[in-house]
Amino acid sequence: MSLNALDQLKLGIIGLGYVGLPLAVEFGKTRPVVGFDINARRIAELSAGHDATLEVEDELLAQAQHLSFSADIDELQSCNVYIVTVPTPINGQKQPDLTPLIKASETLGKVVGRGDIVIYESTVYPGATEEDCIPVIEQVSGLTFNVDFYAGYSPERINPGDKLHRVTTIKKVTSGSTPEVADLVDALYASIITAGTHKASSIRVAEAAKVIENTQRDLNIALVNELAIIFNKLGIDTLEVLEAAGTKWNFLPFRPGLVGGHCIGIDPYYLTYKAQTAGYIPDVILAGRRINSNMGAYVADEMVKAMLKRRIHVNGSRILILGLTFKENCPDLRNTRVVDIVAALAEYGAQVDVYDPWASVEESEHEYGITPLAAPQPGQYDGIMLAVAHQQFRDLGVEAIRAWGKPDQVLYDLKYVLPQGEADLRL
């Protein structure tokens, strides 16, 4: 390996979702890249010049003149650097599910050659790359790690829907399985990352750095969620308290809410799993996860209580949830916790409708069995809950939103979309 080999690298990006596609596009502007995904429909859509996730605009996709897309593993044979950007979910027991990573590693084992480098970007616990993934590549390929092929780890930092913090403007952590490989991996990313890179001393350090980023954020949100519960019981407006406390220079500006998505609600379980295998019970991290996991049921109960105080019969009532995606102004439905609210209200006997102009009807039905409305009908609902702060809802204003409800209704604003006093409840 040599830094002089940088201009000879041909990349294969394994997985073309929210992480892999922006990366493939940036690299594809200046060097040959094969974007690989097992989803043939996804490949056809990207080959036609459109990204359904809306993470990459069509005009930016067209700028990647050296990028090709394929679902054919043979197309990867000509590559010498492979970057893995597949999901890392959890199973029903809230333990890491490495299935996508293992399958991607099996694929790599069929194409990796001598001198090649395999870089993982998927969020994992410390040790997963070298202990779980590399042995699979060795077994399938018959090659020896750090003799015949090498590895790197550079954790993704994509924020879906964020048009300000893009892949090139977010500082990138890099690492490699040998010092020379670490230099080459760092130089490779530095060729597109304008914000710069940070070269970690080892793959395990880079893995640990990634997993604690979202664990820290999860705990901070858990704290303000618990504060919101306390202040609600005390009859104090949570946002007023947070804004007052926020006048101090070092107070962190977190807000309460649902914690979903492919990162914050998932990644802490990778760290807690690894901690427990090392014989340590991470009480603080797990406590934060419990608080955030229970917020859907909590806000549903608050809605029910407010309806009962107005003598609205909950069993048989109609409730409209505004928003289904896991965050605002983004079509990403992965691990959305709005479904927890829907399920909890349904247990009370309410008929729950969901309206979200960003959500795919097909994906919503497939993933959650929920069919979002094309548009709510006026005057139909006993309760309305603003669950996701899409710009469309902000633009509507309180009168248009309340028009979907009956004259006697409860309007619950989870995301502080409306000014204080315009909703009946705020989280």
Residues 358, 189: contact at Cβ < 8 Å? no
In this structure, what token pair is assigned to residue 44? 């056809």
Instruction: Report which of 314, 380, 317 is spatially closest to residue 351, judged by C-alpha positions.
Output: 317
Which helix (DSSP H) or strand (DSSP E) does residue 214 occupy? helix 203-234
β-strand partners of 176 = 152
- Tell me how far apart the alpha carbons of residues 386 and 366 are, in angstroms, rounded to a whole number: 23
Interior/surface letters 298-312, b for 16+ CB within 10 angstroms, e for the rest: bbbebbbebbeeeeb
Residues 37, 107: contact at Cβ < 8 Å? no
Q: What is the sign, positive or negative, of the torsion defined by CA atoms of 363, 365, 367, 370?
A: positive
- Tell me how far apart the alpha carbons of residues 178 and 90 are, in angstroms, rounded to a whole number: 30
Strands (DSSP E) along 113-186, which ranges? 117-120, 150-153, 172-174
Of residues 79, 133, 263, 330, which has the active-site annotation? 263
Residue written as tokens 């690989």? 36
Amino acid type, 182: A
The answer to whether 79 is a known catalytic residue is no
Measured CA to CA in angstroms, residue 210 lies from 132, 263, 390 at distances of 17, 10, 28
- List residues with catalytic annotation: 263
